[in-house]
Amino acid sequence: MAKLILIRHGQSLWNAENKFTGWVDVPLGEQGRAEATIASCKLKDYRVRVCFTSMLFRAIETAIVILTEVNDICDGRIPIIKHQADDENWHGWDKYKGDREQELPVYLTARLDERYYGELQGLNKAETAVKFGQEQVHLWRRSYAVAPPGGESLADTVKRTVPFFCDRILPHLITGDNVLVAAHGNSLRAIIKHLENLSQEEIVNVELGTAIPIIYDIDAHGQIANKVILN
């Protein structure tokens, strides 16, 4: 039975400063890198065959630390980041010789990016609550369908994340590949809502800690057989 490993990135430098980050490409801090290393140790008994991550560096960095700190996770394969060939900045990174079976592909996609926080990006969350009112900011952050000014709601994130999961990630699981998905609180909540068939009211109460692996056993029909959280 295939394993689906979902993990939110480790603490970023803006997480540490309590800022809205969204699509701003902020790297991990020292604590975030340590969290990713600890996650790698927790996953030492698992074998990953393919990895998906967002286009944001904090998620990519988390994935690479997990895959390389404990060698057994890759089962002897070398992680190779797969750039998109239709990107205008693509320089033929995927044109090389070698045995692809000795590689572990790491696919980057904007579909797994954090939800876009619009005009709130870069602002301190506590200061924003003082300015706009705690109830309004809570609505922007925790409601399902209400978006912050100029940004995305969780419902918007579901619309771009779940189709990608169904089209690109689920087929690997159905054929038996263990998959690591390193992404963000909201893009992962979108996947979890779909997997666990959660209501809008249920998913807004789901909290994901940084670099805490969530592991699903997925059967050949794409259904959950078991769930484990490696706190």
**51-74 residues labelled b (16+ CB within 10 A) or e (exposed):** bbbbebebbbbbbbbbbebbeebb
- Separation of alpha carbons 182 and 19, rounded Å: 21
Q: Is 9 a catalytic residue?
A: yes
Return the DSSP state at 169: I
End-to-end CA separation in angstroms for the chain: 22
Task: Please indicate whether residue 184 is annotated as part of the active site.
Answer: no
- Catalytic-labelled residue, pool 35, 114, 152, 184: 114
3-state secondary structure at position 5: strand
Run of H or E residues at 135: helix 134-142
Q: Which one of 9, 35, 152, 172 is the catalytic residue?
A: 9
- What letter represents residue 11's amino acid? Q
Report the alpha-carbon distance of residue 231 to residue 228 in Å, rounded: 9
Residues 6+ positions from 125 with CB-CB distance below 8 Å? 18, 19, 20, 137, 141
Q: Which of 19, 30, 73, 55 is nearest to 213 (CA)?
A: 73
Active site members? 9, 114
